[in-house]
């Protein structure tokens, strides 16, 4: 397969990059190790309201992904889902990418939009035998927990967001955190404390049990006080371990496990650009909207690199 631009990562930044590259007249392929588009948002926060995307006072994660996919689909990019790119080789006039499924893509340029890279959840210290039988690390569909007693474990934004999202549909929601202070945004903490969510701090999960499926959780608090909670579901939101995976072998300059880029989003390797959370430069702000701008900036410079007759400043989409 041969395309003008290969985008690695089908999250929001990658999808917007695919739209904008199509607008600039390029043929595009998008490769992602995940089986569906949307990246971290679709995998972890599909029901979470997002408030910092321009033009949307609030938008659910999955709705944003669906709209970005529809926008990119206007130009018919080739989607290679379930294809993790493992190798990038120079061809002299382009890049040859190879995926873990054996697919080979020749591209004039590569735009890496891999988010935080590969991510795996930090495991709950107990109850691993109940994974798939009540214990979970993601909540892609809130409706699956409707009517259940749910214990959410963690103190970050994900834990509190899931607790708030589940409150209207679960039979009960208990939030367990081993510290008295939360890492989540202060406004979210205030919303949880004002809700019907039961908050137990500082408590830790000591035992998960049930005859067949999970049915109860034992937590310990100050002075080793034990509390038994009814629970058909435990959502362990303890954070994630990010791994750049093969990106670290591609000969790119890295800083803080991110790819260093210049003001045009070029990396240290010819014909390879990066945008979104995987990119790093002085003063970068980690917002989805920033990733959109970076993708457009990279695409404009890629367009000019592939065809010097193309301007870096193409005008407005309404002029097309």
Which residues define the annotated binding site for FAD?
13, 32, 40, 45, 85, 119, 277, 318
Annotated binding site: 13, 32, 40, 45, 85, 119, 277, 318
Within its chain, how far is the Cα of 312 from the centroid?
29
- Which residue, chain included where needed, has tokens 């193409």? 314
Q: How far apart are CA 256 and CA 254, in angstroms?
A: 7
Q: How far apart are CA 130 and CA 16, in angstroms?
A: 38
Provide the pairing of β-strand 258-260 with 254-255.
antiparallel
Strand ranges (DSSP E) for 114-239? 118-121, 135-136, 149-153, 172-176, 198-200, 204-209, 216-220, 226-230, 233-236
Helix ranges, the chain (H): 12-23, 39-44, 61-73, 157-166, 186-193, 288-306
Contact 59, 69 (CB under 8 A): no
């Amino acid at each position: 397969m041969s395309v003008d631009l290969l985008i690695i990562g089908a999250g929001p930044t990658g999808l917007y990059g695919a739209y904008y590259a199509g607008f600039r007249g390029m043929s595009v392929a998008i490769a992602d190790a995940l089986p569906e588009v949307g990246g971290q948002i679709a995998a972890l926060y599909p029901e979470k309201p997002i408030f910092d995307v321009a033009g949307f006072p609030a938008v659910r994660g999955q709705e944003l992904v669906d709209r970005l996919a529809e926008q990119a689909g206007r130009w018919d990019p080739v989607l290679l889902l379930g294809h993790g790119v493992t190798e990038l080789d120079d061809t002299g006039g382009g890049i040859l990418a190879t995926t873990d499924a054996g697919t080979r893509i020749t591209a004039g340029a590569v735009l890496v939009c891999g988010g935080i890279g590969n991510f795996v959840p930090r495991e709950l210290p107990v109850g691993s035998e109940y994974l798939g039988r009540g214990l979970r690390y993601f909540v892609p569909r809130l409706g699956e927990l409707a009517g259940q007693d749910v214990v959410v474990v963690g103190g970050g934004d994900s834990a509190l967001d899931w607790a708030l999202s589940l409150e209207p549909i679960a039979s009960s929601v208990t939030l367990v955190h081993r510290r008295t202070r939360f890492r989540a945004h202060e406004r979210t903490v205030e919303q949880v404390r004002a809700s019907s969510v039961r908050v137990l701090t500082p408590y830790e999960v000591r035992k998960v049990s049930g005859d067949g499926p999970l049915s109860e959780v034992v937590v310990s608090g100050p002075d080793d006080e034990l509390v038994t909670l009814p629970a058909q579901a435990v959502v362990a939101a303890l954070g994630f371990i990010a791994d750049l995976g093969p990106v670290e072998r591609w000969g790119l300059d890295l800083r803080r496990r991110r790819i260093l880029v210049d003001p045009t989003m070029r990396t240290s390797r010819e014909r390879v650009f990066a945008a979104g959370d995987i990119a790093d430069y002085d003063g970068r702000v980690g917002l989805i909207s920033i990733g959109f701008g970076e993708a457009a900036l990279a695409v404009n410079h890629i367009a000019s690199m592939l065809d010097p007759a193309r301007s870096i400043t193409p005008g407005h989409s309404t002029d097309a």
